[in-house]
Structure 1
Amino acid sequence: MKVAIAGAGAVGRSIARELLANEHMVMLLERNADHIDVDAIPKAQWVYADACELASLEEAQLQDFDVVVAATGDDKANVVLSLLAKTEFGVRRVVARVNDPRNEWLFNESWGVDVAVSTPRMLASLVEEAVSVGDLVQLMTLRQGQANLIEVTLPADTALAGKPVRKVELPRDAALVTILRGGRVIVPQPDDPLEGGDELLFVAAVEVEDELRAAIGLAPAEPS
């Protein structure tokens, strides 16, 4: 897979290293000459360019990439690049970094964003996940806000204890994807029994989250 990453700061470099370790091809676009350090990531293709300039993106042949990651520290630059990547170059998948949660409303399909990643929101979700038992915690938004990756830790006295997965009547647009139990990661099978303390990971459409709560025996969400 060919991935173009705009922004060669700490975030962009970390993403590049992970992708290269998984044997993907990576191009780093950076407009600040002080951030360009080919020796730091020699396997990446480094390009000194402004990722918001159409001519620079044409020269970099962005149309040949499978994924664009807008990872700069400037939200305005990230949404402009996302829009250009999607509309001008037909990039199939665009992932954008959200630096200021107040700007999240911009990072949607209208601006070419397929996946928006807000570090502050993710950290808050992880804090909630660490302390919340018996409630839904949204870990990540998927498909421009149409669905969420959701975690719930079953309480020790859950009514689901001993019940096989196939007996849990989930709503149509929700799926149990993983059970975390102690140090194990379990791909759920129909006859696997649930236990108190299990961490369940679901992907669910936003509109069925109340039904999902009811299916796993949780109290309705309090009105905001």
Structure 2
Amino acid sequence: MKILIAGGGEFAENLIKMLNPRENEIIVIEKDEARKRELESKYDILVINKSATDIDVYAREVKMDEINAVLALTNSDEINMLVLAIAKIYNIPIRIGRFAEEKIGELVRELQLGIPITQPKILASIVADYMSSVLIPVHLGKLGSFDLYAVGVAEGDRAAGSRVKDLEMSEEVGKIILMFDGTRFKVPSDDDVLKPGDILVIMATGTDFIAYIKG
């Protein structure tokens, strides 16, 4: 996977460790020269020493048509929103941003710019889990005779935009016992609408549930 990260702070570094630069090609946009040198000395990544607001970065320096995921992790909600808007213009399939203000995060979700994460303490692990589970469900462990899986809902999935009950997934196939929408965990009701960016925890005895979520 080819990943573009806007902002090279602590959150970005934690995520770089989890995503493993040996398995993923990671490009970071970081305007601080000293921080750029520090990141490049620690990890096998490319760091572009410019501001994430510099349109030239996306137009000329990064081959946006090759990017699979954009992560907006600067300290500015406004800049992160801009980065996700640019990523949407380029049709980047995975777009995730860090937001301090829940209202801005809600606006990002309403405008379908990307996935807003507003809980910074668990940001890195949530993003890493989502990026893994959006491709292949992640096995979390067992609960009695059942297996627990985490699966991310992505744009284009069968489940995206559907109510839980409209999936018509029987409990023999799998049951959604928990969902995380970027701001909070909740036990879903039948009328809850599943949106791109949601992480679902599913209790199942096999993997037939994947067809109901991914299509």
TM-score range with shorter-chain normalisation?
0.5 to 0.7
1:35 is aligned to 35
What is the percentage of aligned positions where both structures have the same residue?
16
Name which of 184, 191, 205 aligns with 1:208.
191
Residue 31 of structure 2 aligns to which amino acid in structure 1?
R
Q: Which residue of 1 aligns with 2:107?
A: 106
* Letter in structure 1 aligned against 2:85: L
Task: Give, in whole Å, the separation in 1 of the partners of 2:41 and 2:71.
Answer: 21
Aligned counterparts of 1:69 and 1:191: Cα–Cα separation in 2? 33
Count of residue correspondences: 154
The alpha carbon displacement at 1:6 in A equals: 0.7
Structure 1 residue 4: Cα displacement: 0.5
Amino acid at match of 1:171: K
- Number of the residue aligned with 1:45: 46
Unaligned runs of 5+ in 2: 124-151, 181-186, 193-215
Correspondences of 1:7-156 after superposition (within 5 Å):
7-20=7-20, 23-36=23-36, 37=38, 38-41=40-43, 43-58=44-59, 59-87=61-89, 89-108=90-109, 110=111, 112-113=113-114, 115-119=115-119
- Residue identity in the other structure for 2:166: R
The alpha-carbon deviation at position 109 of structure 1 amounts to 5.7
Q: How far apart are 1:62 and its partner, in Å?
A: 2.5
**Structure possessing the higher relative contact order (Cα contacts under 8 Å, 6 or more residues apart):** 2
Which amino acid in 1 is paired with 2:165? Answer: P
| Larger radius of gyration between Structure 1 and Structure 2 | 1
One-letter identity of the residue aligned with 2:46:
Q
Partner deviation per Cα, 1:105-142 (whole Å, 9 max, x = no partner):
221262621x111116969xxxxxxxxxxxxxxxxx96
Counterparts of 1:98 and 1:47 in 2: how far apart (Å)? 22
Task: Give me the TM-score of the superposition, normalised by structure 1.
Answer: 0.55
RMSD: 4.0
Partner of 2:199: none
Contact persistence 2:165–2:190 (CA under 8 A) = no
Return the alpha-carbon distance in structure 2 between the equivalents of residues 23 and 82 of structure 1.
Answer: 24
Residue 7 of structure 2 contacts residue 72 of structure 2 at CA under 8 Å; is this kept in 1?
yes
* CA distance in structure 1 between the partners assigned to 2:173 and 2:53 by the alignment: 52
Classify 1:50/1:173 alpha carbon distance in 2 versus 1 (closer, same or farther; 3 Å): same
SS of corresponding position for 2:74: coil
Report the AA paired with residue 67 of structure 1.
A
Using the alignment, how far apart are the partners of 2:169 and 2:121 within structure 1?
23
Distance (Å, rounded) in 2 between the aligned partners of 1:52 and 1:46: 15
Distance 1:202 1:119, change over 3 A: closer
